Every structure is written in C-alpha cells, then in structure tokens.
C-alpha cells in the first residue's frame, strides 16, 4: 500500500521540488533557429512560445502523462521521471530498457537530465520548481503541459497529444490516436447500450487503508473516469464536487451511503498490492450493508491503466469501465 498511498499524496501536491543536484550547466541555453523551414513553434501552458529547430528526437519526460503521449506516438524517451512507477501504473506505452530514470516526479534530477543532452524536455505544470526552470531551460527547450482539468479533460488530453505530436513531427500519428480513441468510445458506448445500462450511475474510487480504517479517493464529476463514463453513456453516482484540477473528492465508508442503490461501484486496484476492499472492509457492517455491495455491483478496475494519461490510456479506461459495468 505504500506506493499507492504515495501516489495519492503526489496527486495532491501543488508544487514539486528538484532533487539535491541543482548545479546549472555552464553552457548557455540552446538558441532555436526559428527561421528555418523545419522550425516548430508551440505555445505551452505557461503561455510561452517555445521553438525547436526541428522535430525532437531525444526527449525527456518529467510526468507520466507526457511519457504516455511520447511512447504512444512511437517515440522512446531518452529519460523519464520514475521509470519503475510508470511501468507499474501504465500499460499504454512500453518503455525500452535503455531509458534513463531521471528521478521521481517530485524530484527530477537536473544533473541526470543534463547528462542525456536532450533536445526537448516535457513537463506538467509544477513538474519543475520555479527556481529550477532556468537551469532546465539551459539544457534544452522546455514545454510545459497542463496536466489535468475537471472542466473538459478529454479535450485537454487530445490537445496535449496534438501538441506533442507537433513537437515530435508525428502530427498524423496524433490525429490517428484521437480517431482511435473516438472509435473506442463508440464501441464501449455500444456495449453499455446493448446491455441496457445506459444512464446507470457509477463511480470509480481509489481506496487506501491506514491502520484499521479506509478512505476512498472519489473520482467526482469532471474527473477522468467521470468524463469517460459520460461519453460511454453512464452517469455520475457521486454528487459532491471534487477539486477543480483532478475532480477528486474524499469519503469514508459512511459517506458511501449517499450513493444511489443501483450504483456500479468500481475501485482502482493494481495486482502488486493487497486489496483493502477484500481485507479491511470484509467485516465492516456499513460496507456490507450497502445496497450495491449486497447486489454484487462492486468491481475492481483499472489495473495498469493510468487515469491521467493520453488518449490510449483513456481508451483503455473506457473499455474497462464498460466491461465491468456490464459484467453483472
């Protein structure tokens, strides 16, 4: 459970800090040509125009969502923040054995990044502390992406994927990924409809245990599961608002009594950790008395699916939700 609890803390963090190695490279920042025929200019989440001489080939990604974007476009990053974690939590894009780990997402190593001599660094807002941004930009152009929003998440993810496609010279591939996602959504929606489950209330939660108690991180309206669920014909079972970025709320077991009786209750699991629903809650009278628990509408879900990833991850999520909701 330690890794999963740490993940929740990482999602809640509003600022990330660099690791102990912060010596800035002595060379000046690379100067983009800007006027060449192959020059590429994008405007990132900071509102800053970033120009590359040519499509990037040696990319460092400082957040798993960026790693998703790059790998699913068919490019192997030279460096990734938290390689092992990405391999555990995402199956959308596979990392090769030669990829260098540049530190955890909360502590990217400037020295490790510099040693790779990348031609592009991809980050989320907050991936690079403000006092370290200048150092990173001396290494290579930095493009900062907005990682999540509870207001138009799918559109944001498609936009990010397109931006990364432009930076890598993979525009056609990015367009195809968007089209593939739309097709996957339609297939999942058809699965829901054929099972007579249209309009069914559902929720995807993230349970984590502390001592003998359990807390649920609830994916509320606007969150990744909510946005995908709406697209495939489901409705939100959880009525309270979540945070404005990830759409996350929190609840104890008693709070789940407010869910509709016919809720399809999904909870995020991974195959490497103990399942708290089957252990901590096994003898909890409030839990076992919930109507959707009694009816067997409780489903482990999203193993190996990064909920905050690119269109491939969101497509996996759509398929998984449809499968679980129609399994009873």
Task: Domains for the chain: give ranges and CATH numbers.
Answer: 2-147 (3.40.50.1980), 181-325 (3.40.50.1980)
Partnered with residue 228 across adjacent β-strands are none
Which candidate, 209, 295, 307, places its Cα nearest to that of 252? Answer: 209
φ, ψ for residue 225, nearest 5 deg? -60, -40
Q: What is the pLDDT of residue 273?
A: 79
Partnered with residue 218 across adjacent β-strands are 205, 249
From first to last of the 328 residues of the chain, give the pLDDT tens digit: 334 444 444 444 433 333 333 344 444 455 544 444 479 999 999 999 999 999 999 999 999 999 999 999 999 999 999 999 998 889 999 999 889 999 988 779 999 999 999 999 999 998 888 888 999 999 999 999 999 999 999 999 999 999 999 999 999 999 999 999 999 999 999 999 999 999 999 999 999 888 778 999 999 999 999 999 999 999 999 999 999 999 999 999 999 999 999 999 999 987 777 888 988 898 899 999 999 999 999 999 999 999 999 999 999 999 999 999 999 7
Tokens of 96: 């090769």
């Amino acid at each position: 459970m330690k890794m999963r609890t740490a993940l929740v803390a990482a999602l809640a963090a509003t600022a990330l800090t660099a690791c102990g190695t912060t010596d800035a490279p002595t060379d000046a920042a690379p100067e983009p040509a800007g006027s060449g025929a192959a020059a590429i200019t994008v405007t990132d989440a900071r509102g800053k125009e970033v120009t590359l001489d040519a499509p990037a080939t040696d990319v460092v990604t400082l957040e798993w969502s960026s790693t998703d974007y790059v790998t699913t476009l068919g490019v192997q990053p030279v460096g990734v923040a938290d390689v092992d974690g990405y391999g555990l939590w995402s199956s959308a894009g596979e990392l090769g054995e030669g990829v260098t780990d540049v530190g955890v997402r909360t502590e990217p190593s400037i020295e490790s990044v510099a040693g790779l001599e990348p031609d592009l660094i991809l980050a989320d807002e907050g991936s690079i502390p403000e006092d370290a941004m200048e150092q990173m930009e001396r290494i290579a152009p930095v493009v900062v992406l907005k990682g999540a929003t509870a207001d138009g998440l799918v559109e944001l993810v498609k936009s990010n994927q397109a931006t990364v496609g432009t930076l890598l010279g993979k525009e056609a591939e990015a367009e195809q990924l968007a089209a593939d996602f739309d097709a996957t959504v339609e297939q999942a929606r058809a699965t829901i409809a054929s099972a007579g489950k249209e309009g069914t209330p559902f929720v995807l939660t993230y349970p984590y245990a502390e001592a003998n108690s359990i807390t649920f991180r609830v994916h509320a309206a606007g969150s990744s599961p909510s946005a995908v669920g709406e697209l495939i014909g489901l409705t939100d079972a959880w009525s309270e608002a979540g945070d404005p970025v990830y759409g996350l709320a929190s609840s104890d077991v008693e709070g789940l009594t407010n869910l509709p009786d016919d809720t399809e209750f999904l909870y995020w699991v991974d195959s490497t950790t103990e399942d708290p629903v089957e252990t901590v809650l096994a003898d909890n009278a409030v839990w076992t008395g919930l109507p959707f628990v009694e009816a067997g509408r409780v489903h482990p879900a999203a193993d190996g699916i990064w909920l905050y990833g690119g269109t491939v991850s969101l497509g996996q999520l759509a398929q998984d939700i449809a499968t679980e909701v129609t399994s009873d």
